[in-house]
Amino acid sequence: MWYNKKNNKEYPNFSTMNNTANNLPERSVTEQELAQYKQIVESTPVCIKVFDSAGKLIFINKGGREEHGINDTDDIAKWNWVATVKPEYRPEVLEAFKKGLMGISSRVTMEHTEEGSDHAWCEGIISPIKDENDKVTLLLFYSIDVTDREKAEAEIIKREQAMRQRNEELAEMNKILIGKDSEMAEIKRKQDEA
């Protein structure tokens, strides 16, 4: 445990797997620390998924289950997580997943189907977890809701397109007006000559 002087609270020490200060057996300490890690993972709204090296889903945290409408009693191994992503984004997501299995971390933005997620858009990071021999044993795939960001970016693009279109219309009107001015100047010149 460590003590924070600012708020007078004690926090668990996650940096060590040995807890000789409490004189607890190593296994109990490990179980305690694992329980603390699980509590952290289960309390975040971020969707956290863990896959084995064959690509099979073996864990999804509470935030992920809530986002995707998965009950605690559902068999997650049978859940088709790729189907929660709109078809046009699936190739990019699967490519990032394959890179993870090859040991390369990737970041991907995806749009979800309405039935697949409470979030319209998510940004995910896929990170390989390797053993001491540098072999990928697990994939950590966590994603956050970026719906507001994507909507704001889409609105900016929409406004830019509208401004571009308006500028093109104004440029065309200018050409017409300049043409009319030239015609008027020519008519005036002819009248002055006559």
Looking at the structure, do residues 132 and 61 belong to the same domain, yes or no? yes
Looking at the structure, do residues 115 and 140 belong to the same domain, yes or no? yes
- For residues 2 and 151, give the distance between their C-alpha atoms in angstroms, rounded to a whole number: 42
So what's the pLDDT on residue 29?
Answer: 63
Number of domains in the chain: 3
What range defines the domain where residue 31 resides?
1-43
Looking at the structure, do residues 171 and 187 belong to the same domain, yes or no? yes
Looking at the structure, do residues 160 and 100 belong to the same domain, yes or no? no
Looking at the structure, do residues 185 and 121 belong to the same domain, yes or no? no
Looking at the structure, do residues 13 and 103 belong to the same domain, yes or no? no
So what's the pLDDT on residue 137?
Answer: 93
So what's the pLDDT on residue 12?
Answer: 46
Looking at the structure, do residues 49 and 141 belong to the same domain, yes or no? yes
Looking at the structure, do residues 98 and 154 belong to the same domain, yes or no? no
The separation between CA 190 and the C-alpha centre of its own chain, rounded to angstroms, equals: 69
Per-10-residue mean pLDDT of the chain, 194 residues long, equals 49 43 58 82 87 89 88 82 92 93 93 87 93 92 88 86 87 77 76 76
- For residues 78 and 41, give the distance between their C-alpha atoms in angstroms, rounded to a whole number: 22
Tell me what percent of the chain is helix, strand and coil, each rounded to the nearest 5. Answer: 50, 25, 25
So what's the pLDDT on residue 8?
Answer: 55
- For residues 126 and 108, give the distance between their C-alpha atoms in angstroms, rounded to a whole number: 8
Measured CA to CA in angstroms, residue 103 lies from 8, 14, 48, 91 at distances of 42, 26, 18, 18
So what's the pLDDT on residue 70?
Answer: 86
- For residues 13 and 3, give the distance between their C-alpha atoms in angstroms, rounded to a whole number: 10
Residue 48's SS3 state is: strand
Looking at the structure, do residues 87 and 134 belong to the same domain, yes or no? yes
Looking at the structure, do residues 129 and 50 belong to the same domain, yes or no? yes
Neighbours of 61 (CB within 10 A): 21
Looking at the structure, do residues 108 and 91 belong to the same domain, yes or no? yes
